[in-house]
Amino acid sequence: MNTHAAFAAALLDPRLNCPEGVFSANGADPASRFAVYRNNVQSSLINALAHSYPVVAQLVGNEFFRAMAAIYLLGNAPQSPLIKDYGHDLADFIEGFEPAVSVPYLADVARLERLRTLAYHAADAQPLNPEQIGAALADPHTLSELSVELHPSLNLLTSAFAVVSIWAAHQQDATLAGIDLDHGQHALILRNGLDVEVFVIEPGASAFIQNLQNGQPLLQAAASAPAFDLSQTLALLISHNALTHLHQNKVSP
Amino acid sequence: MNNLPFGLPPRAGLGLKTEHFREVLGSQPDIGFFEVHAENYMVAGGPFHHYLGLIREQYPLSLHGVGLSIGAEGPLDIQHLKRLGVLIERYQPQSFSEHLAWSSHGPVFLNDLLPLAYDTPTLSRVCEHIDHVQSTLKRPMLLENPATYLAFERSTYDEADFINEVIRRTGCGLLLDVNNVYVSSINHQRDPLAYIDALPLHAVGEIHLAGFAEDTDSLGDRLLIDDHGAPIDNAVWTLYQHVLERTGPIATLIERDIQLPAFSVLHAEARQADERLRCAGGRS
């Protein structure tokens, strides 16, 4: 009775034969008709990956990307009708994908592209205006217990490669000339209004923002991070609408 | 079962493409309605909701699902149905439609509209699923006739009879995709006019028009592929005319999902459909 199981398996794996029990009205080989469905499934999923990871595809070339995606697809059929999430773990697959070892930064570029997609579709949140933030920061009595909430789209990526420079180069002329590929970068990804933005930040700033995400009060988050320019980092977050709430932790009177 | 409360105006509509968000808001074209794929808007926030919200304020909306898998062998995905409910609550679309097809099997989503065997167990299952959808969403849905490339030995109904029975049992409406009628008729050597005349045309709540791609099968015969990637074929316009003569003017969507042309090209096709709708309404 379970005919969809055989149909589905043969759609996903081109090595399997056309399922039993199907025919063409004109007597044509049903496999030549089944091929339309298989091609729809395979190409739509590979196209979805190419759409989500345009710079990864540029870095390895379209032909390599599609071949890699076809192999990914064999072991990673979509588990949800929300196809935007398909390939959310492509970076992990790339890391173990032997033919791509000559492009060691490929997985981190995929991570950056995934975080950009997440930021694009993340929940909306009203940013605080600079006056509200300025007033809270100016009050020495409450500053030590001040916590901030960051925009839901905000994420960090730490890479041993120049991942932001590599990605940014592919928004223009796609040349890696002049980029020190092995120069590690800390990326900040967020959505400001309708636009996703990517910044390179200092290692200490990345640790600071991570601490904030973990719920540490502002001053503690700064103090427990490696040295960095706090005022510059706060200015970046404020001017790009990344702060959405301020809380006073009422630990002591 | 007649006079279902489908609220789309009897005008031509267009699929809303993200590439056209700004142009639509900027130029406010005279379009009868916009249609979106529900799954594209199942995200928390960001530009998609921003633009759809603004466009919805100015146009009627058709919400068209492509991921519910009404023909699946297993139960409906309750989470997915909930997500549809959230979208319907938020955007109050004039119409919700889905397909006579399956796209999921167990946990695996195949991202295509796959063909069903038209037999009694499938009929019961499809009707149960549609009942479930309509009772959960508290509104009638439209069911779209499929474009198919294969037939099943197990089928005991022809497609039009199967659709008649589904609509009779569930009270859902029909989204008559005229391109799918043509594609399937060529692929299965059916007479498209006889097929259309055998459908429950009283239940049509929306029409789809689109273009197809041409291939050949192992015998070298024409094999048409419903790819929504070309202008509407003359044969499909002719069938559309045949439908309108029987139904009168009905909301008609121009679908284009790949090889997207400029908005003005799609708008011109919409005007062609609007012209035929005006004639069908007896207005000059």
When CB atoms are compared, the residue of B114, B117, B223 closest to A33 is: B223
Q: Quick one: pLDDT at residue A250?
A: 61
| pTM of structure | 0.95
Reported as a single tens digit per residue, the pLDDT across A24-48 is 999 999 999 999 999 999 999 999 9
The tokens describing A85, both together, are 């999430």
The pLDDT, as a whole number, for residue A251 is 52
- Enter the ipTM: 0.94
CB contact under 8 A, B46 and A83: no
* B251 and B235 Cβ atoms separated by less than 8 Å: no
pLDDT number for residue B6: 54
Nearest to B250 by CA among B276, B232, B226: B276
CATH code, B12-280: 3.20.20.150
Read out DSSP for chain B?
A: --S------SSEEEE--GGGHHHHHHH----SEEEEEGGGG-SSSSHHHHHHHHHHTTS-EEEE-SSS-TT-SS---HHHHHHHHHHHHHH--SEEEEESSEEEETTEEEEEEE----SHHHHHHHHHHHHHHHHHHTS--EEEPPP-S-EETT--S-HHHHHHHHHHHH--EEEEEHHHHHHHHHHTT--HHHHHHHS-GGGEEEEEE---EEEE-TTS-EEEE--S-SPPPHHHHHHHHHHHHHH-S--EEEP--SS---HHHHHHHHHHHHHHHHHHTT--
Per-chain mean pLDDT for chain A: 94
In this prediction, residue A142 has a pLDDT band, given cuts at 50, 70 and 90, of: confident
Task: Note whether B67 contacts A81, CB cutoff 8 Å.
Answer: yes
Contacts with B49 from chain A: Cβ below 8 Å: 124
Q: Do B112 and A28 touch (CB under 8 A)?
A: no
**pLDDT beneath 50, residues of chain B:** 1-5, 284
Question: What pLDDT is recorded for position A144?
Answer: 85
Percent of chain A topping pLDDT 70: 98
The predicted pLDDT at position B4 comes to 43
Binary contact (B217, A33; C-beta < 8 A): yes
